[in-house]
Structure 1
């Protein structure tokens, strides 16, 4: 079995089937893979600072990779972002639904010290349907992202240079504060605005919150019974 002689640092989300597929692909095809998987709030493991090698691959990672670690990648540090360049930062799927985007996508880009600002390598786009909600759009996004991952990593395995896309980030990254604001509903909002926010932020147990006279109430939809 001919593996590519390469040291890879793989950073990803814990307990995610798409991440596990991407990691398995790396382990099957590179001679040396160091992997750290985590969830929101987990600190980046201290021993990651000892790593040195050719590539850092961030795939749905919950960590902002510090600059000192990025510099240890001799060839490239790349991230697979679950959104098109129109939606950098936090809550990208939510903002795409809120803005009623007709098209969405996934992006592979070089990592920089500021999140979602590095030079773009490749983008894969697909349509957003009127029937989409957070769950359905996320599932399709993760499928497209895995395909893009295979395409880009295959280039690395073949010893080819990473492409340079003509695409650019179109705005500054969305922040957690902006995302939290999207999940607020107040009495002064129109019916249309409320419907947009419900569509954009309802996902499983997560729902927008209603603020009324200093109190916050949990939204209950018809689907809740």
Structure 2
């Protein structure tokens, strides 16, 4: 029987989200942690909830969870991976959002449970888009907190993840602007990746 929710979140979010989960599931123990190293050893009666959490959860942890693991990703399914907002800005995306999904050994590839979408403002920069995506994650959390403390699994949506993974390496490469790059391309990179001119 599900009796423990393990919450992985940043320092600012942990106390607030942990309290919300406690209110949603009376009698369910909530363990809030800032690292996977702080998780308990026995996970048979636990479910993991990760909220905009940068650390990759080890496969061994995922396999030992009796009630699965769920992640709030600050990007829509089209943009799996690291700092998805930057790649969306570079692409000129007009829509962005956040995704609730099951966690698997391969990052941002698990079954999608829900998506919160919004229009991208025309003058949006990276910080602005990340802030909007964070707000979308909070709305998803509010919508699903009660279900996540229940032993039932959230429903699945017939959606697929995008095939291009946003990575740290790609982010760094796009942030370097080679000499001779057309001005329009340079401006796109500066807006999305905070690019700098290579000399």
Give TM-score scaled by structure 2 length.
0.90
Q: Which residue of 2 aligns with 1:120?
A: 112
- Is 1:209 the counterpart of 2:189? The answer is no
Q: Which residue of 1 aligns with 2:3?
A: 6
Give TM-score scaled by structure 1 length.
0.80
Q: Where does the alignment leave 5 or more consecutive residues of structure 2 unmatched?
A: none
- Is 1:81 the counterpart of 2:73? The answer is yes
Q: Which residue of 1 aligns with 2:41?
A: 50
Within a 5 Å distance, the mapping from 1:17-28 to structure 2 comes to: 17=13, 19-28=14-23
- Aligned mates of 2:140, 2:183 — CA distance in 1: 38
Q: Where does the alignment leave 5 or more consecutive residues of structure 1 unmatched?
A: 39-43, 203-207, 213-225
- Aligned mates of 1:28, 1:51 — CA distance in 2: 24
Q: CA deviation at 1:75?
A: 1.7
SS at match of 2:16: helix
Q: CA deviation at 1:36?
A: 1.3
Aligned residues: 196
Q: Which residue of 1 aligns with 2:156?
A: 164
Q: Which has the larger radius of gyration?
A: 1
| Higher strand content, 1 or 2 | 1
Q: RMSD value over aligned CA atoms?
A: 2.0
- Aligned mates of 2:164, 2:92 — CA distance in 1: 19
